[in-house]
Amino acid sequence: MDEKNYNGYDVERFNNYESEGDDIRNLLKTDSGFCQRFFFGKELKKCNIARFRNKHISELAQTYHVEISEDTYSTIVYETLWTNGTWAPLDTYDKQSTFFAWLRKVARNAVMERLEDEHIIPENRLRTAGNTRLTMLSQSEAKCKVVIDELMAHTKYYDLLTAVYVDRLKKNEIMEKLNMTAEDYDKQKKQGERKLKDAILRSAHCFEEDVLHDKNASVITVSSEFVLDMAEWYKERTSENPFSDVLGLQLTDDEVKDKIVNFIYDFSAKLKWTDEERTLWRQRFVEKVPPVKIAEELGVDRHWVDQHYSRINKKFKAAFKKWWKVNG
């Protein structure tokens, strides 16, 4: 297997994952040099765990204010797979997903369990449909199609969820296409999304971490920059909360936060951005990931991140102001 430029995430490679998984596992078992590079390497475009390692470390810092080094993270993952002098855990890979999707889940669980055991973070609550949110609009249409086709194909919600998350149609377009009233649309969308979340959680789907976020994780908090910008746009409004005119009246702080984040993800998903632009903007603007971390993940320098973020943010503001003139 050629190590160069492999990241294991592309949906387009989905049909080739079995041979890739076999190649990587064989190399881990037989080549100590490859093993060292795989677990501890830092080059994002090489065959290693750097991409999901950096992302998870960033999430831990945001959610729990815990700093964990790359070497510590890599050591935990290595020790999880190299047990009692064997690579036996590698043989539990069932080829139901890409090897990297499987390994990402194994790694996250191992690191979280270690941090919980050492009382560095509180024990994680059980994920349910009620305490998670769908973030599928922040993912590619291809990835959403994989999830919906695999989990909802034989349900009455399939056409509606496909229209929302794969075709990215507007509400009125979906109502017309499926011959639904506004009340039916709202009711079935809510029910369908809950069924989809249940199905994702029950199946331990390989894309679970991509399409589901915990409601109480700090990754869904709103940056002060966003609040100040929005408040300025609404400064002529007299309501107690400057977002209430858009997101609903008399909302509690938690409800406001929840609705704002949903609005941001939904709104930005409809903009004609590249996947790279959308990821960069959300990480920097919504999730408040430090630009240095983003630069490391993308394999670029800090200046590139700042320059592109500034340009993308201007696009967002212009699009939102245009939207507000129509809907405000």
Q: Is the predicted pLDDT of residue 280 greater than 70, yes or no? A: yes
Q: Is the predicted pLDDT of residue 235 greater than 60, yes or no? A: no
Tokens of 196: 């989809």
Strand partners for 132:
214
Three-state DSSP at 65 gives coil
- What backbone torsions phi and psi does residue 83 show, to the nearest 5 degrees? -120, 125
Contact between residue 9 and residue 146 where contact means Cβ atoms under 8 Å apart = no
**Domains delineated in the chain:** 11-117 (no CATH), 132-214 (no CATH), 221-327 (1.10.10)
Q: Can you tell me the distance from the alpha carbon of 321 to that of 19, in angstroms, rounded to the nearest whole number?
A: 49
Contact between residue 196 and residue 152 where contact means Cβ atoms under 8 Å apart = yes
Tokens of 299: 């394999």
118-155 confidence digits (pLDDT tens): 878 776 556 777 778 888 887 888 889 999 999 999 99
CA 257 to chain CA centroid, Å, is 18
177-221 confidence digits (pLDDT tens): 999 998 999 899 989 998 999 888 888 677 887 788 776 443 334
Q: Can you tell me the distance from the alpha carbon of 192 to that of 187, in angstroms, rounded to the nearest whole number?
A: 9
**Strand intervals (E) in 29-151:** 132-134
